[in-house]
Structures are given as C-alpha cells and as structure tokens.
Amino acid sequence: MKRAWSLILAFLLAASALAACSGGKNNDGGGGASDGASGGSGKRVKLTAIMTKHPLTKPFAEMEWLQAAEERAGVEIEWEEVTADWGQKKGALLSSGDIPDLIIGPNAITDADIAMFPGLFQDLRDLIESYGPNVKAMFEAKPETRVLAAQMDGSIYGLPKYQRFWPATVTRQYINQQWLDNLGLKMPTTWDELFDVLVAFKEQDANGNGDPNDEIPMDFAPVGTGGFGFFHPTVLLGSTGITLTNASGQGYFMEDGAVKNFFVDERYKRFVQFLAKCYAAGLINSEVFTQDYTKFQSVARGEGNTAKVGFTWGWEVTDRFGNTLAPQYTSMAPLRETADSDVQVSWDYTYDALNYGVNMVVMSARSKNKEAAMRFINELYDPVVSMQVLFGSIGPNIKDNGDGSYEVLPPADPAMDPGTWKWTSTWADNGPMYIADDLVLTLGTDMQSVGAQTEPLMPALNAIDKENDVLPTMFIKYTPEDNSTLALNNTNLMNLAMAKFSQWVTAGGIEQEWDSYVKEAERTGLPQNLEIIQRYVDEYKRNQ
C-alpha cells in the first residue's frame, strides 16, 4: 500500500517538474488571443473562430498579413486551429449549438450541415450589402461565385473562393524521355503504341543499370474504396471521348447535355480491358492496389540517378519524381484509343475544383458581433489581402514592386520546394480569397512549371464544350432528401464498382461478368441518381 502511495507521489512530482520544462519550437496554435499588433491599438472587438488548416501550416499568431488584417477590421480573434479529426468534432459542436463566431476552411461546414441546422448560421446577404464591398465586387466580376454561394432560396450562408491561377486540369501524364531515348523509341500516341513502349521498358533494361527486372513500366496512385480521384488512369477515358469533370470520382460525366456514368459504359469496359492486358503482361506495378501514397511516391523517386517508373500520372514533375529524376521525364498529350479513332480526345476538366471553393467561411447566427465579423471577412476578400492568404505575407513571401504589381518570392530555405513553403507560411488553398483577374502577380517557379507541363494537354482541354460536356455539379445545391439519396446510392455503387475494377485489372474476367455487373449496378440505385442529377442540371441550365 505504501509502495503505491509513493508511486503516486512520484508521478505527481514528475508532472510538476515537467511543467517547468519548455524550450524549442512553440507550436502552440491558438488558445490565447493573437499577439503581435494587440498592444495599444484601441478597443478591438473580440471574436472566436475555428479554422481547419493544413497540418503543415504554422501557427496563426506568426502570420503577419493576418495580424494586419485583424487590426484593420478592428477585431482580435481567438483562433482554434484544427488540423485533424474535424469530422468527429463537428457533430457534437453543431448539435450543441456551441459554435464560434466564424468557421473557416474548405467546405468545413457543408451544404448538408447548413440544411440540417437551420437557424444556426447567419444569412449574410444584408451584411454583405452594408459591410462587404469586396465580396460584392467579387460577385459582380465573377457571377459564378454568387451561384456557388447561394442556397436554393437565394440566401447566402457560406462564401466561396476564387484562385484564378490554377491550371485547367489536376492530372498530367508523364513518361521517362530518357528511357525512350535509350531504347530508340518514339513518343507513343495511341494505347497500342503505349503498350509496345511499356513492353520494351520492361524487357530491355530501359534505365541502363544492368538489371533488366527492376523497371516498373506503369504505376498509378492508390485507388480508394470510395471512388476514383486525382492521378488515376481514368484520364485514359479521355481517349474514348469522355470528358471527366473534377476527376469524376463516382463516374458521373456529361455528354451533349446528358448526365451519364462511365461505370456502366462500353468505353469504360474497353479501358479496363486495356489495363487488364497491361497487368497480365507484367507492365503495371504489382503492388498498385495495396501500396499507400507514401510508398507510391517513394518508388517514383528511384535510387539516386536511376529511375524506376516509366509512365505515370501526377501533379507536377518535381513533386512526382523528386528533383534528381525530374529532368528525365516529359509531360505527354492525351493518347488516342486506336490509330484510326477519329473521336475528339478529351481529358479531365478540373478547372472548377482547383480554382473555386464553396463554403470557405460561415458565420454563427448567434454571434454578438456580426458587423465586426463581416468587416474581417471583407478584409480577406480584398485582392491584395487574398493574394497573401494564398501565398504568404508581403515581405517574406511576396515582393511588392511598388508599381501595383507583385511577385511571389522563392522559399527562404533553398532546400524547400515552393509548394511546401506556401503551405507552411499561410492558409493557402484552405482560406477564403478572391484573386481578381486584373491583379498583376508574377507566380513562383512551381506554378509556372505546372503551366508549362500542361501545354501538351491544352489542345484537348480547349476543345471541350464547356456548355454540354462539363458537369456543373459544383454549382448545384441539392435538397437534403435528394442529397441523402445520392449519398446512399453512391456508397452502394462504389462498393460494387471499385472492387470489380481492381479485380478485373488484376485477375481478369470482365468479358464474362460485364452484363451481370451492369444489372447489379442498376440495383444499387444508379438510375435513380442519374435521374436526380439530370433534373438539377437541367434546372441549373434553364436559370443561366
């Protein structure tokens, strides 16, 4: 017994000793009011806010532009910086009605939340009229932002963002040019040519290191159980004429104004057959369905100067392959399905998802300081401030040229890449912003190279009929009932489709199973979903 007591005592002593320990980086994000500009700046309204930030982002107290913006708006914000598990926190928070004045973050509060908790969030229309001139300017210059913001009855609860500079697609296609040169091959332009090139990669020691078996001809990002996403081989569907919208994760795309789903389309069947042929020939990484994203990226970085991967998809060449191997790769144009295919090739049109965002900031209806909160929000939508929300403060991150133009500076740490630097310094893509089209800003090297690498895809992207072949689901708001139906049916469909996709690619069997699979897909509720989405799309077009 005595032993136990002395143990407890020892622990309590240890605890108080540790309380005295400090030193090193202070990663204390929030809890106390932001310091910096608070000394003697007159009476500032105190607000509370939550922001879902990226894990790399530094504490808000260290962001110069933010402190300045708060000061100009006459507010002092107590931030709670959430990096993980927002979904778990959100439920209890919203149900108890215990929310702060502002909640900021990309779709941190979804339309479903707004519908489920009426009266909890503030309708911002009047406040925008009186205190939000920058927001009004954005609505006027870019009417689609107003569409993003408005609920079906015209009320506005969440404000959007517009980033302007991002490319028209998120996925670029890369092939190892050095390997092509080593083996004397031409750049492939059709699926069959690609197949032959990949076979050559596999059999002829393409990386020239003496080991003919260490090449991985094709690799792609891990496919989730909830559907496809970025950097997946689904972009090959563009060769068949299908235009993907925002990666078409659940298969929905638009063709000539009609809403369709590629999971039950003949062209998807041919696409899977092509992949199965490649896999059977040993051309695809055998761990493609079991490796995680870290491993996927690690493999592409090869060993020293020796590359391992021949053909793949990614965001940008240094991000995908690392600085050492990046020069070996070139970005490619979309392939044609066959040599005599005359279909206009397409790609994944991700412009909307990359440049727009919905519900970036919402306000509590129970806030006692709505005008002050709106004034702060207004500061964020000033294009010069927005620029800093995205890239970092003027000074360390952005250079003011003095003539109304600006320039994004390279990272202070030369070992760091511009993307990480952006995410570390500021809210980046997670914040509300309006990058006006007439703002003169020279971008950093990463954004410029992304633009350069997208060049081969531009003919196909420019040929897309945005009216009839791009699905405008980002701009559509569903009723809670329809949203629920869509979600439940999609869960069923994805469970079936994704399992079949990986099974057919690795083990074959698509010819035998295709017909029963299509029937099965109907049972998941897919026709119901297509009908619902078509209805909303038609309504959206009528109101344009």
Q: In the range 507-526, which residues lie near another protein by CB under 8 A? A: 523-525
Does 314 bind another protein (CB under 8 A)? Our answer is yes
Comparing CA positions, the residue from 38, 500, 465 lying closest to residue 255 is 465
DSSP string, 136-192: HHHHHH-HHHHHHHB-TTS-B-EEEEE---S-S-S-EEEEEHHHHHHHT-PPP-BHH
CB of 293 to another protein, least distance (A): 5
CA-based end-to-end distance of the chain: 79
What the block records as the tokens of 314 is 């990614």
Whole-angstrom distance, CA of residue 482 vs CA of residue 41: 50
Minimum CB distance to another protein, residue 413 (Å): 9
* 37 DSSP assignment: S
- If one asks whether residue 295 binds another protein (CB under 8 A), the answer comes out as yes
Query: Quick one: which of 420, 448, 528, 534 contacts another protein (CB under 8 A)?
Result: 420
Site residues for another protein, window 166-205 (CB under 8 A)? Answer: 166, 170
Binding status of residue 289 toward another protein by CB under 8 A: yes
Per CB under 8 A, which of residues 87..116 are in contact with another protein?
A: 87-89, 91-92, 95-96, 98, 110, 112-113, 116
DSSP, residue by residue, 313-327:
EES-HHHHHHHHHGG
CB contact at 8 A, 316 and 172 = yes
Between CA 461 and CA 59 the distance in angstroms is 39
Give min distance, CB of 319 to another protein, in A: 4
Q: How far apart are CA 219 and CA 311, in angstroms?
A: 7
CB atoms within 10 A of CB 86: 14
The closest alpha carbon to 159, from 181, 180, 137, 178, belongs to: 137
Cβ proximity of 271 and 176 under 8 Å: no
Binding mask 39-78 for another protein (x = CB under 8 A): ---------------xxx----------------------
Residue nearer to another protein on the CB measure, 78 or 465: 78
Binders of another protein among residues 223 to 242 (CB under 8 A) are 223-226, 229-231
- Identify which of residues 41 and 83 has a Cβ nearer to another protein in the complex: 83
**Measured from the CB atom, is 393 or 489 closer to another protein?**
489
**Nearest residue (CB) to another protein, 188 versus 411:** 411
In whole angstroms, what is the distance from residue 377 CA to residue 434 CA?
Answer: 11
User: 174-198 burial, b for 16+ CB within 10 Å, e for fewer?
Assistant: bbbebbbebeebeebebbbbbbebb
Residue from 291, 306, 341, 442 touching another protein (CB under 8 A): that is 291
Residue 484 binding another protein, by CB under 8 A = yes
Give residue 387's identity as a one-letter amino acid code. Answer: M
Alpha helices in 20-79 (DSSP H): 64-73
Contacts of another protein in 106-165 (CB under 8 A): 110, 112-113, 116-120
Among 65-73, 332-340, 341-349, 476-484, the segment contacting another protein (CB under 8 A) = 476-484
Which residues, 385 to 414, sit near another protein by CB under 8 A?
none
Nearer to another protein, 97 or 133 (CB): 97
Q: Can you tell me which of 499, 511, 519, 541 binds another protein, judged by CB under 8 A?
A: 499
Helix, strand, coil content of the chain in percent (nearest 5): 45, 15, 40
Out of 415, 438, 512, 516, which residue is the one contacting another protein (CB under 8 A)? 415
Interface residue with another protein among 24, 39, 42, 154 (CB under 8 A) is 24
- Does 19 participate in binding another protein (rule CB under 8 A)? yes
DSSP-derived secondary structure letter, 306: B
CB of 108 to another protein, least distance (A): 13
Assigned token pair, 481: 């009932």
Using the rule CB under 8 A, give the single segment among 18-26, 123-131, 265-273, 381-389 that binds another protein: 18-26
339 touches another protein by CB under 8 A: no
Closest separation in Å from C-beta 433 to another protein:
13
| Contact flag: residue 446 with another protein (CB under 8 A) | yes
Min dist CB 42 to another protein, Å, is 27
Indicate the residue among 297 and 344 with the shorter CB distance to another protein.
297
Query: If binding is defined by CB under 8 A, does position 503 make contact with another protein?
Result: yes
